[in-house]
Amino acid sequence: MSVSGIARQSMASRVLKQLETWPECRTGTAECGCGAGVSVGARQILHLHTGNEAELWLTVPLIERMRPALEGARQVALEPHRDWIGIRLETEDDADLLVALFSLAIRTHDGPEPKPEMSECLAG
């Protein structure tokens, strides 16, 4: 598999393969135009930009609740007042963290359609 430039043996490819088995997930090109995206319902909440870089739309309220844990994770990049986080995928543990956070993101986005003022991923 080489979706939108994602290397076949990369951690991002591993995550993509796993999420493709989830019935509520659809994969395709990232809306920002850079890499692969994973959608749940009408929302694309995960972008895999390269084989080792991902961005996840968590929402500002969830990020603020989880800030201490997210700031303590060396592979997570936060930007003030943004609802996307960056995740560096270097190991299987990093990929597992992304999948766990993706699961939280699904629950966070279960409801009305996204507001127009949501921020774009950092590549957008």
Percent of the chain with pLDDT over 90: 63
The counts of H helices and E strands in the chain are: 3, 6
- State pLDDT tens for residues 104-121: 999 887 766 555 455 677
Per-residue pLDDT at 26 exceeds 90: yes
Per-residue pLDDT at 63 exceeds 80: yes
* 74-93 mean pLDDT: 93
- The predicted pLDDT at position 14 comes to 92
Its pTM stands at 0.85
**CA distances to 35, 87, 119, 122 from 114, in Å:** 22, 22, 10, 17
- The predicted pLDDT at position 2 comes to 42
Q: Are 24 and 40 in contact (CB under 8 A)?
A: yes
